């Protein structure tokens, strides 16, 4: 069996809807080998489909098909630390595990670029799948066939403190609430901030992040689906966050803070509890610059 380590991801980064994402130091593990039947188990309490609808399996089978091979079955063991349907790339982690694992099993017929493309075709957008594979912060444009991407490693003194509520928000629901059309003014509002975000993060002009995370394409609509989320934003800003945004499609909220803001997460946790927001877990993460690795 090979064993893969796949990072969680945070997509959109505020204004970069479907275009920007980064990998986080929070991991799923997947062991897999080819078999003559489908044999899937979760190694923790997280329930996963154990039949042919399992996303690791589906992705592995897609890769086999692309390479002209038929997959009869696979033995898969999953350890899922990344919570599902919270905006931290749990589906992308499964897709990337299936693709990278299957590609390795076949002797690596597909390149990294091919894997980025195939993952985006399965997921529909590249902002979680690309950083899950590549690590770092990834800027990606999916033209429907190919992904045009840049990965940049990040070595700033930042922590990414994620606040995760105890309820799920499925991406389909979080996308269904978005408007079909937006104004020219709102498009300009977003593209300028998305560009500002990566330039500021990578050059350390961190005071720009508070402006850069604002957007008019998805967060205002999704906030209506996440009870009391504005209070969560306010708490993180009160304790000195550089920027706060809905991670991916939500409902998790990401706060970017300085590593020298030593007690940031403790103070956020305390304030959330004081406000009666007891269902919110707070985790201190950093950027993962390596992406998915085969560890054994
Ligand atoms: N860019 C995607 C969205 C990320 O916001 O819907 C979630 O998969």
Residue located via tokens 């992705």: 59
Q: Is the dihedral of CA 67, 121, 95, 198 positive or negative?
A: positive
Residues 142 and 18 in one domain: yes
- How far apart CA 175 and CA 157 sit, in angstroms, is 33
What is the spatial distance between Cα 215 and Cα 209, in angstroms, rounded to a whole number? 12
Which structural domain, as residue segments, surrounds residue 94? 2-153
Q: Which of 127, 140, 142, 179 to mutate to test the pocket of ligand 1 (most atoms within 8 A of CB)?
A: 127
What is the mean predicted confidence (pLDDT) over 122-151?
97
User: Same structural domain for residues 189 and 75?
Assistant: no
C-alpha torsion sign, points 102, 285, 201, 277: positive
Q: What is the pLDDT of residue 114?
A: 98
How many CA atoms are closer than 13 Å to the CA of 246, on its beta-carbon side? 30
Same domain, 128 and 172: no
Number of structural domains (the chain) is: 2
Report pLDDT digits (tens) over 227-253.
999 999 999 999 999 999 999 999 999
CATH number reported for the structural domain that contains residue 149 in this entry: 3.30.230.10
Expressed in angstroms and rounded, the spacing between residue 172 Cα and the centre of ligand 1 is 9
If you measure from the C-alpha of residue 73 to the centroid of ligand 1, how many angstroms do you get, rounded to a whole number? 30
Atom of ligand 1 nearest to the CA of 249: 5
What is the pLDDT, as a whole number, of residue 189?
Answer: 98
DSSP secondary structure, 214-278, as one string = --SSSHHHHGGGSTTHHHHHHHHHHTT-SEEEE-TTSS-EEEEEETT-TTHHHHHHHHHHHTT-T
* pLDDT in the model for residue 156: 85
Supply the residue whose CA is at minimum distance from atom 1 of ligand 1. 18
Dist. CA 125 → ligand 1 center (Å): 7
Residue where a domain stops, chosen among 126, 153, 180: 153
93, 130: one domain? yes
Note whether residue 219 is domain-resident. Answer: yes
Q: What is the mean pLDDT of residues 95-117?
A: 98
- Tell me the pLDDT tens digit for each residue of 201-226: 999 999 999 999 999 999 999 999 99
DSSP structure class, residue 128: T
Rounded to the nearest whole angstrom, what is the distance from the C-alpha of residue 263 to the centroid of ligand 1?
Answer: 30
pLDDT of the residue at 135: 98
Give the 3-state secondary structure of residue 106.
coil
Residues 247, 112: one domain? Answer: no
Ligand 1 binding pocket (C-beta < 6 A) is 11-12, 17-18, 125, 127-128, 171, 174-175, 218, 248-249
Distance 296 CA to ligand 1 centre (A): 31
pLDDT of residue 168: 96
Domain shared by 167 and 222, yes or no = yes
Mutate to test the pocket of ligand 1, among 218, 245, 246 (most ligand atoms within 8 A of CB): 218
Whether residue 223 lies inside any domain: the answer is: yes
**Among 153, 175, 204, residue at a domain's last position:** 153
Of the residues 121, 153, 185, the one at which a domain ends = 153
Output the pTM of the full model. 0.96
So what's the pLDDT on residue 219? Answer: 98
Question: The dihedral of CA 7, 10, 16, 18: what is its sign?
Answer: positive
Same domain, 142 and 268: no
205 and 89 part of one domain: no
In sequence order, what E strands does the chain have?
Answer: 2-11, 20-35, 38-42, 73-79, 137-142, 147-152, 158-164, 243-246, 253-258, 281-285, 293-294
Residues 271, 143 share a domain: no
Average pLDDT across the chain, whole number: 97
The DSSP letter of residue 206 is: G
Q: Is residue 294 part of a domain?
A: no
Measured in Å, residue 22 CA sits from the centre of ligand 1 at: 13
Cβ neighbours around 259 below 10 Å, total: 12
Running DSSP on this structure, what letter comes out for residue 67?
T
Q: What radius of gyration do the chain's Cα atoms show?
A: 19
- pLDDT, one tens digit per residue, over 157-188 is 899 999 999 999 999 999 999 999 999 999 99
Ligand 1 mean position, distance from CA 129 (Å): 10
183 in a structural domain: yes
* Ligand 1 atom closest to the CA of 87, numbered from 1: 7
pLDDT for res 84: 95
Q: Which of 22, 86, 128, 177 to mutate to test the pocket of ligand 1 (most atoms within 8 A of CB)?
A: 128
Q: What is the pLDDT of residue 45?
A: 86
Q: Whose CA is nearest to atom 6 of ligand 1?
A: 249
User: Do 12 and 149 sit in the same domain of this protein?
Assistant: yes
Residue 272 contacts by C-beta under 8 Å, 6 or more apart in sequence?
163, 232, 235, 278, 280, 282
Tens-digit pLDDT profile for residues 1-54: 999 999 999 999 999 999 999 999 999 999 999 999 999 999 998 899 999 999
Same domain? For 66 and 163 the reply is no
């Amino acid at each position: 069996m090979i064993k893969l380590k796949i990072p969680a991801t945070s997509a959109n980064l505020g204004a970069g809807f479907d275009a920007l994402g980064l990998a986080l130091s929070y991991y799923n593990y997947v062991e897999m080998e080819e078999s003559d039947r489908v044999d899937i188990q979760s190694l923790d309490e997280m329930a996963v489909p154990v039949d042919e609808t399992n996303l690791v399996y589906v992705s592995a089978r897609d890769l086999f098909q692309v390479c002209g091979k038929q997959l009869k079955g696979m033995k898969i063991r999953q350890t899922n630390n990344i919570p599902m349907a919270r905006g931290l790339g749990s589906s992308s982690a499964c897709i990337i595990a299936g693709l990278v694992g299957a590609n390795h099993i076949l002797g690596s017929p597909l390149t990294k670029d091919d894997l980025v493309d195939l993952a985006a075709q399965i997921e529909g957008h590249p902002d979680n799948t690309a950083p899950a594979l590549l690590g770092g912060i990834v800027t990606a444009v999916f033209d429907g066939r190919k992904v045009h991407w840049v990965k940049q490693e990040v070595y700033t003194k930042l922590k990414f403190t994620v606040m995760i509520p105890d309820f799920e928000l499925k991406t389909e629901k979080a996308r269904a609430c978005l408007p079909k059309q937006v104004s020219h003014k709102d498009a300009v509002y977003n593209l300028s901030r998305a560009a500002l975000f990566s330039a500021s993060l990578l050059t350390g002009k961190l005071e720009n992040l508070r402006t850069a995370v604002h957007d008019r394409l998805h967060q205002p609509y999704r906030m209506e689906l996440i009870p009391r989320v504005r209070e969560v934003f306010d708490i993180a800003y009160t304790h000195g966050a550089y920027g706060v945004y809905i991670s991916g499609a939500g409902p998790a909220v990401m706060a970017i803070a300085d590593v020298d803001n030593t007690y940031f997460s403790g103070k956020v946790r305390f304030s959330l509890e004081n406000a009666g927001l007891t269902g919110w877990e707070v985790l201190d993460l950093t950027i993962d610059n390596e992406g998915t690795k085969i560890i054994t």
